[in-house]
Structure 1
Amino acid sequence: MPENRTSVNHSLFENYILEPGDIVFARTGASVGKSYLYKETDGLLVYAGFLIKVKTNSEILDPIYLQNFTTTGTYWSWVKVMSMRSGQPGINGNEFKQLKISVPPTIDEQTRIAQTLSDMDDEIAGLEQKLTKYKRLKQGMMQELLTGKTRLI
């Protein structure tokens, strides 16, 4: 999340406030198809006209499951086909309504799948932090060893 945020000065801004579980999709340009799942921890946010907001029926579709679906090859193949235009690529709201999503039969199973994937993301983030730490450690050791400040005996 960017640190430098700005405020919205518009009388209708309350109509565009994101709520937990809302997903927004970029509908035009180079970022067409990219999505963002709103979380309360991100603070008060509004969405703009170049985005399409989706609010799932939580009895039928887990929003985290949907967010994970948007990272699959199936989804991105669909985006590529649907966004082909002469000029600026884009997908409108009616086209997004045509998106077919493979969904397990119960919300409980969707939630378990989404939780498993989130746990894996957390594990990957932890491993990436360790990798960054070890790379820095190696850089420091290389500096010490290659400049002769530290000698191996």
Structure 2
Amino acid sequence: MSVSLSVFLSVSLSVCLSVCLSLCLSVSLYVCLSVCLPACLSSCLPVCPSVLQGVCSLFIPRIGITLFIVFYTFGNICTLGSTMFLLGPMKQLKKMCDRTRALATAIMITCLVLTLCAAFWWKNFGLALLFVILQILSFTWYSLSYIPCAREALMKLLSMCVR
């Protein structure tokens, strides 16, 4: 990153944060944390705006957790859809149902459905967040199935760490 770009980012971030903090003094803290601060950081730090906005959406009263769960689950569905776009739907579905990743696929899709059920139907947000964590783990395990020997290497690493 060039010096001028880093100076621009630091100046724009400081100006944006000062405006945001002055707005926070006049508006509620929830508005500041969920709207102003993520917008400020995402405009100044284009590296990870969706992560910041997703985490900050948790602080919106009454609907924050639901928004996070919906957008995270929708993001995982879009990720699966993008791989279908690259390989073609039938080839991707055949690969998903392959013997090496059929169980990971079933767990991943089950977690996607159960996350939405826990958020909307059962209204149990603790359970929904548990299913989000299971989504992360199952999607990681599913993704590792496409890299040769990655699952075995991860299992070996984890077994060395446990000892």
TM-score, normalised to structure 2's length?
0.32
Higher share in helix: 2
Higher share in strand: 1
Q: Which has the higher contact order (CA 8 A, sep 6+)?
A: 1
TM-score, normalised to structure 1's length?
0.33
Greater C-alpha Rg: 1
